[in-house]
Amino acid sequence: MSHPRKRVGRKTAAVCIAAATLLATAACSSSGASTGGDAAPAAAAATYTGSAVVNLSYWSWTLNSQAVVDAFNATHPNIHVTYTHTVNGPNGYSKLFDAFKAGDGPDVFNCEYDMLPEFVSQGLTANLTSYIDAKTQSALGSALPLTTLGGSTWAVPIDIEPAELWYRADLFKKYDLAVPTTWAQFQSEARQLATVDPGAKLGAIPIDDPLWLAALSEQAGAQWYSTSGDSWKVNLTDAASEKVASYWQSLADKKLVLTVTSSSPSYGQAYSNGTVLTQIEPPYEGAYIKSGYPNEAGDWAVAPLPNWSGAATDGSEGGSSSVVDKNTKNLAAAAEFAEWLSTSPQALTTRMQGGKSTSLPVDASAAKAPETAFDTSYFYQHQNVFDLANAAAGTVSKSWIWGPEVPGVDTAMATPLGKVGSGGQLSAMLSTGQGAALRLMKNAGLSASAG
Amino acid sequence: MAISSAAVRRPSLGADAGRAPRGRGHGRAAAILMSPFFLLFTAVTLAPIGYAVYLSLYRTERSGLGFGGASNVFVGLGNYGRALGDSVYRLGFLHVVEYGVIYVPTMLAAAIAGALLLDSSLARASRLCQLLYFMPSQVPGILAALIWLYLYTPHVSPVISLLTHVGATPNLGQTGWLLPAMANVAIWQYTGYNIVICYAALKAVPRELIEASRVDGASELRTALSIKLPLIGPAATLAGLMTMVGVLQLFTEPLVLNSIAPGSIGAQWSPNLYIFNAAFTNDDFATAAAGSILLALISGALSFVVIRVTRRWREIS
């Protein structure tokens, strides 16, 4: 059986490092963009204290959401949340945009980081800055930069998804390869593998997933989007992104990595027959590997993403947050629910029950219990994949944000990206994306410039 | 009251029926009987078209970072200009024309050949064969595309490994493979349907003509090419022209095959996909509406030409 990778992946549950708490203080300091708390006046905890029952609607596609909502309702007598299960991906967002057009959007909804700016720049979402108090700030600090646009916080992060190197420990042993810690080493191991077994590849480029290159570019120090005053800045073609693109282009040209569409049956095939030894994916992928390749139990392990300079850095590849409708009936209640979803141990334990998700909650301390309880028997030497993920989350850049019009930009980039491996160039994806982002933003009337 | 007057005025079916061509009651009955059609037609066709026209004249405008919200502004024909000015949209039309150039003649030739074979005196079990040929057209288009998606996927497909064994290197990333591969899905699906259409036309050919040609010593092949083929010309032409109009609506095949060849079949490969992507991925209903109306106008113009051409054909024959 082949298991095409579920692209629905990119989002799910949640948490972050114990270390993140320490880092959080230093967290929000970036060039032009972000900053959640520093400048904001002393924020109050998001709490609804009224006695009248507030009814809220909540849309999400994540695992166990109904149980999570039930748990919230049971412990919050003055707020009643009604849950609606939606689908992930373009169809789910399409439904959300249509609901907002009809004036019937949910009070709170789940949204991936790369889609957030589209909702925010349409003026649909509530500014939550004044609800993020110091405690929340420190618990969610590692991912708050992702939801902070133009100096205000627009969503409460749930999970953080640092890119990692998932690898077949058994095949690394068989071919006598070392787990690479730098990209230079990744390349040399790939060459060595080619000499031992020309049919095998060290890695794969998913040529239908622009997010993949975004995470790797972020790791190298790129900043595709930022804000400057009242204007969006777009920079997909900086030196860091070009460096990453030419690195992978060279691996693809030398046939040292496979170029494959991750939504096609070939992708699952390549991993179920051991043709490809690694995949660069965030923590949530662990669950997909476990369910997708049951015959490879005990073979898969995860390592930090190789880096460029020797210092551990990382980029985030997916993840989602809770967003509040600007026209919600009760902002305090909606904000309280959104924060509870991310920072309550009960919420995270309920979300992670059954062990079917390996998404990494931003709030590491609140997720400690379910992470410790996770059944590690599938992974190589019973590795607890959360430990490594929590450490990796601490090395994610604290300045990356996404911009508006990302769906259109992705569509534009998909064509040049899809040609990689059959004559196309990864750098063409970057220049196409740069042009498309500026064009689409200006078409929408937004202020945007390169840089 | 209305009913009784209608009853009184209802013309009898007798001799004077011809004298009173259409009484008022008659018109009313017709109006009542046809009203369900017009109600539905208005609700599900005219109203959506009207709404699409409305959507196509406005645009959502934001400013600065956009945090202040969006407003709906009247832009006249601006969205039409935007759609036509987008090379990706125009390229979609080129794609479907290229596809049609491969698909329509191939499918039609196969359909005519199949019908002539079925009609030849050597054919056996022609009823069973008709049924078998007809079957693929009953498979929903999305399923047909999915079946072929698997048959086109390297490492999974027996077809690909067979082709690889005989030395070919199929690659949907190349136009030379892509267009025939996509046309093949539709050829597989609709050839049988058109065989049945052409075969029905063949059945209407007067048998004495065919007997005469046999008596004159014409071979089976000669009879097929010189007698039968010209006589089913109008039916085949009509089938071909209808297929051409349908080609403009190309959607399912590129949507499904996109997942194995995203570089060559983009998410905006055909005009219909462009519209779909604008509306449901980019949340840009204005461009989608303008693109839809342009596509409808072009399809309408093509249909008009088709009808004119076929009418002339029928008059000639």
Query: Which of A194, A316, A168 shows the shortest CA–CA distance to A251?
Result: A194
- Chain centroid to Cα B68, Å, comes to 45
- Binary contact (A122, B66; C-beta < 8 A): yes
Per-residue model confidence as pLDDT tens digits over A127-153: 999 999 999 999 998 999 999 999 999
Angle between helices B285-316 and B78-85 (to 10 degrees): 80
Q: How far is A379 from chain B (nearest CA, A)?
A: 27
Q: Measured between CB atoms, which of B67, B171, B279 is closest to A120?
A: B67
Six-digit token string for A192: 């060595």
Condensed to tens digits (0 to 9), the pLDDT of residues A360-379 reads 999 999 999 999 999 999 99
The tokens describing A183, both together, are 């990209």
Residue B301 to residues A170, B48, B90, B245, B269, Cα–Cα distance (Å): 63, 20, 17, 10, 22
> Do the Cβ atoms of A211 and A287 come closer than 8 Å?
no
Which band of pLDDT confidence, cut at 50, 70 and 90, is reported for residue A19?
Answer: very low
Contact A444 B60 (CB under 8 A): yes
pLDDT for residue A217 is more than 90: yes
| Helix segments in A82-182, DSSP class H | 90-101, 116-121, 134-140, 169-174
Mean pLDDT lowest among A191-200, A247-256, B35-44, B255-264? B255-264
Q: How far is B259 from chain A (nearest CA, A)?
A: 6
DSSP A378-426: TSGGG--HHHHHHHHHTTB-SS-B--TTHHHHHHHHHHHHHTBTTTB-H
pLDDT single digits (tens) A71-120: 999 999 999 999 999 999 888 999 999 999 899 999 999 999 999 999 99
- List the end-to-end C-alpha distance of chain B, in Å, as a whole number: 53
The three-state secondary structure class of B218 is: coil
Please report, rounded to a whole number, the percentage of residues in chain B having pLDDT higher than 70.
91
- Tens of pLDDT, residues A263-288: 888 899 999 999 999 999 999 999 99
Judge whether residue A38 has pLDDT over 70: no
- Residue A301 phi, psi dihedral angles, 5° rounding: -135, 170
Q: What are the residue boundaries of the structural domains of chain B, listed by start?
A: 20-74, 78-316
Query: CB of B14 within 8 Å of any CB in chain A?
Result: no
Q: Is the pLDDT of residue B217 over 90?
A: no
Place A30 in a pLDDT band, splitting at 50, 70 and 90.
very low
Q: What is the pLDDT of residue B69?
A: 84
Amino acid at A223: Q
Give the pLDDT mean for B283-297.
94
Determine the longest span between alpha carbons in chain A, in angstroms: 71
Q: How far apart are CA A425 and CA A436, in angstroms?
A: 17
> What pLDDT was estimated at residue A40?
43
pLDDT > 90 in chain A, percent: 82
Which pTM was predicted? Answer: 0.83
The CATH code of the domain at B78-316 is 1.10.3720.10
Please judge whether B67 and A121 are an interchain contact, meaning their C-beta atoms are less than 8 angstroms apart. yes
The tens digit of pLDDT for each residue in B41-55 reads 999 999 999 999 999
The CA angle A181-A175-A216, to the nearest 5 degrees, is: 30
pLDDT at B218: 86
Angle in degrees, 0-180, between the axes of helices A239-253 and A426-443, rounded to the nearest 10: 140
- Is the Cβ of B170 closer than 8 Å to some Cβ of chain A? no
Choose, out of A94, A259, A411, the residue to mutate when testing the contact with B (most B CBs < 10 Å).
A411
Judged by CB atoms closer than 8 Å, whether chains meet at B263 and A120 is answered as no
- A373: Cα within 13 Å, side-chain hemisphere: 13
Residue pair A72/A348 in contact (Cβ under 8 Å)? The answer is: no
For position A1, what pLDDT does the model report? 34
B65 at A interface, C-beta within 8 A: yes
Contact assignment for B263 to A422 by CB distance below 8 Å: yes
Nearest to B62 among A261, A419, A444 (CB): A444
3-state secondary structure of B262: coil
Between chains, do A446 and B65 touch, taking CB under 8 Å as contact? Answer: yes
Which pLDDT score, from 0 to 100, does residue B259 have?
81
Which residue of B66, B154, B259 is in closest CB contact with A121? B66
Picking from A375-389, B77-91, B172-186, which range would have the lowest pLDDT averaged per residue? B172-186
For residues A141 and A343, what is the distance between their CA atoms, to the nearest angstrom? 12
Q: What whole-number distance in Å separates Cα of residue A248 and Cα of residue A260?
A: 13
pLDDT (0 to 100) of residue A430:
98
- Please give the structure tokens belonging to residue B71: 């407003």
The mean pLDDT of chain A is 89
